[in-house]
Amino acid sequence: MRFVLALYLALLPSLSLAVQPDELLADPKLEERAREISSELRCLVCQNQSIDDSDAGLARDLRLLVRERLKAGDSNIQVRDYLVERYGDFILLKPPFKNETLLLWLTPFAVLLVGGGALFAMAQRRRRDSEVEASLSETDEARLKTLLEQDGR
Amino acid sequence: MIVEIGHYALVLALALAIVQALVPLYGAIRRDGPLMAVAQPAAVVQFLLVALSFAALTHAYVMSDFSVVNVFENSHSLKPLIYKFSGVWGNHEGSMLLWVLILALFGATVALFSRGMPDDLRALVLAVQSWVSAAFLLFVLLTSNPFARLDPTPLEGRDLNPLLQDPGLAIHPPLLYIGYVGFSITFSFAAAALISGRIDAAWARYIRPWTLGAWIFLTLGIAMGSYWAYYTLGWGGFWFWDPVENASLMPWLAGTALLHSAAVMEKRDALKIWTIFLAILAFSLSLLGTFLVRSGVLTSVHSFASDPQRGVFILGILVFFIGGSLALFAVRASALKPGGIFAPVSREGALVLNNLLLTTSCATVFIGTLYPLALEAVTGEKISVGAPFFNLTFGPLFIPIILAMPFGQMLAWKRGDLLGAAQRLVLAVAIGVAGMVVLEAVRGGPVMPAILAGLALYLIVGSFVEIYGRLRGAKTLSNMISRALGLPRSAWGTALAHAGVGITLFGLAATGWGVERIVTVRPGEPVAVGPYEVVVRELAPRDGSNFKELVAHTEVREAGRVIAQMDPSRRSFTTRTMVRTEAGIVTLGAGGQIYMNIADVRVDGAMDLRLYWKPYVALIWLGCLIMSLGGLLSLSDRRLRIGIAQRASLRPQAAPAE
In chain B, what percentage of residues exceed pLDDT 70? Answer: 94
Q: Are residues A86 and A106 in the same domain?
A: no
What gap in Å lies between CA B202 and CA B299, rounded to an integer?
A: 44
Kindly state the average pLDDT of the residues B50-77: 93
**Which positions in chain A touch B357 (Cβ < 8 Å)?**
112
List the single range of B411-425, B485-499, B558-572 with lowest mean pLDDT.
B411-425
Q: What is the mean pLDDT of chain A?
A: 78
**Contact: B235, A93; criterion CB under 8 Å:** no
pLDDT band, very low/low/confident/very high, at B5 (cuts 50, 70, 90): very high
Between β-strands B515-521 and B607-614, what pairing exists: parallel, antiparallel or unpaired? antiparallel
Which among A7, A8, A16 has CB closest to B233? A16
Kindly state the average pLDDT of the residues B182-192: 94
Task: Please check whether residue B385 touches A, CB under 8 A.
Answer: yes
Domain count, chain A: 2
Q: What is the pLDDT of residues A47-103, one digit of tens each?
A: 778 888 887 788 888 999 999 999 998 999 999 999 999 998 889 999 998 888 899
Quick one: pLDDT at residue A130? 63
**Is B29's pLDDT higher than 60?**
yes
Quick one: pLDDT at residue B544? 83
Quick one: pLDDT at residue B434? 94
- Nearest-5° angle of CA B247, CA B135, CA B9? 115
**Which positions in chain A touch B388 (Cβ < 8 Å)?**
39-40, 93-94
Helices (H), B380-447: 387-410, 418-424, 426-443
Give residue limits of the domains in chain B. Answer: 1-157, 425-512+620-637, 515-614
Q: What is the mean pLDDT of chain B?
A: 88
Higher pLDDT: B345 or B133? It is: B133
pLDDT band, very low/low/confident/very high, at A134 (cuts 50, 70, 90): low
Size of chain A in residues? 153
**Contact: B383, A20; criterion CB under 8 Å:** no
Among chain B residues, CA nearest to A121: B344
CA B597 to chain centre: 28
CA distance A89 to chain B (A): 6
**Which positions in chain A touch B231 (Cβ < 8 Å)?**
none
**Is B445's pLDDT higher than 90?**
no
**Contact: B240, A49; criterion CB under 8 Å:** yes
- Label residue A9 exposed, middle or buried (CB < 10 Å: 0-12, 13-18, 19+): middle
**Is B525's pLDDT higher than 70?**
yes
Quick one: pLDDT at residue A131? 60
Quick one: pLDDT at residue B641? 55
Q: Is B248 helix (H, G, I), strand (E, B) or coil?
A: helix
**Contact: B384, A111; criterion CB under 8 Å:** no
Return the H-helix or E-strand segment holding B77. Answer: none
Kindly state the average pLDDT of the residues B89-112: 93
Q: What is the pLDDT of residues B507-521, one digit of tens each?
A: 999 998 999 898 999
Long-range CB contacts (within 8 A, 24+) of B567-574: B568/B596, B568/B597, B568/B598, B569/B542, B569/B598, B570/B598, B570/B601, B571/B162, B571/B544, B571/B547, B572/A4, B572/B547, B572/B548, B573/B159, B573/B162, B573/B165, B573/B546, B573/B547, B574/B546, B574/B547, B574/B548
Q: Are residues A86 and A104 in the same domain?
A: no
**Is B163's pLDDT higher than 80?**
no
**Contact: A5, B243; criterion CB under 8 Å:** no
Final residue belonging to a domain, choices A80, A96, A112: A96
**Contact: B364, A130; criterion CB under 8 Å:** no
Which among A50, A92, A115 has CB closest to B359? A115
**Which positions in chain B touch A116 (Cβ < 8 Å)?**
356
Helix B167-196 vs helix B92-112: crossing angle, to nearest 10: 50
Q: Is B628 helix (H, G, I), strand (E, B) or coil?
A: helix
B residues 493-532 lying closer than 8 A (beta carbon) to A: 518-520
**Contact: A4, B601; criterion CB under 8 Å:** no
**Is B405's pLDDT higher than 50?**
yes
Task: Please check whether residue B233 touches A, CB under 8 A.
Answer: yes
Quick one: pLDDT at residue A135? 58
What gap in Å lies between CA B548 and CA B570, rounded to an integer?
A: 8
Radius of gyration of chain A (CA): 32
**Is B335's pLDDT higher than 80?**
no
pTM for the predicted model, two decimal places: 0.89
- A42 secondary structure, DSSP code: B
Q: Give the CA distances from residue B88 to residues B96, B289, B441, B609, in Å, rounded to whole numbers and listed in that order.
A: 10, 20, 52, 35
- Strands (E) in A13-68, as ranges, are none
Task: Please check whether residue B272 touches A, CB under 8 A.
Answer: no
Instruction: List A114's β-bridge partners, or say none.
Output: none
What gap in Å lies between CA B390 and CA B184, rounded to an integer?
A: 28
CB pairs < 8 Å spanning A and B? 145
- Domain of A64 in residue numbering reads as 2-96
CA distance A148 to chain B (A): 30
Kindly state the average pLDDT of the residues B592-617: 89
**Contact: B519, A21; criterion CB under 8 Å:** yes
Q: Are residues A51 and A6 in the same domain?
A: yes
Task: Please check whether residue B368 touches A, CB under 8 A.
Answer: yes
**Interface mutation target, options A2, A3, A17, A22, chain B, most CBs of B under 10 Å:** A17
Kindly state the average pLDDT of the residues B206-228: 93
Among chain A residues, CA nearest to B603: A1
Contact B571, B549 (CB under 8 A): yes
List the single range of B130-144, B327-341, B344-358 with lowest mean pLDDT.
B327-341
pLDDT band, very low/low/confident/very high, at B125 (cuts 50, 70, 90): very high
**Contact: A111, B360; criterion CB under 8 Å:** yes
CATH of the domain at A78: 1.10.8.640
Q: What is the pLDDT of residues B349-399, one digit of tens each?
A: 888 899 999 999 999 999 999 998 888 878 878 888 988 999 999 989 999
Contact A48, A42 (CB under 8 A): yes
Final residue belonging to a domain, choices A81, A96, A111: A96
Among chain A residues, CA nearest to B386: A93
Quick one: pLDDT at residue B361? 94
ipTM: 0.81
**Interface mutation target, options A11, A48, A76, A129, chain B, most CBs of B under 10 Å:** A48
pLDDT band, very low/low/confident/very high, at A2 (cuts 50, 70, 90): very low
**Contact: B384, A91; criterion CB under 8 Å:** yes
**Is B420's pLDDT higher than 90?**
no
List the single range of A16-20, A36-40, B160-164 with lowest mean pLDDT.
A16-20
Among chain A residues, CA nearest to B344: A123
Winning range, highest mean pLDDT, from A21-30, B148-157, B471-480: B148-157
CA distance B375 to chain A (A): 8
Higher pLDDT: B274 or B296? It is: B274
**Is B657's pLDDT higher than 50?**
no
pLDDT band, very low/low/confident/very high, at A4 (cuts 50, 70, 90): very low
Quick one: pLDDT at residue A10? 39
Task: Please check whether residue B600 touches A, CB under 8 A.
Answer: yes
CA distance A150 to chain B (A): 35
**Is B647's pLDDT higher than 50?**
no
Higher pLDDT: B642 or B281? It is: B281
CA distance B117 to chain A (A): 33
**Interface mutation target, options B164, B384, B448, B604, chain A, most CBs of A under 10 Å:** B384
**Which positions in chain A touch B518 (Cβ < 8 Å)?**
19-21, 24
Kindly state the average pLDDT of the residues A110-116: 92
Q: Are residues A15 and A46 in the same domain?
A: yes
Kindly state the average pLDDT of the residues B168-186: 91
Quick one: pLDDT at residue B97? 95
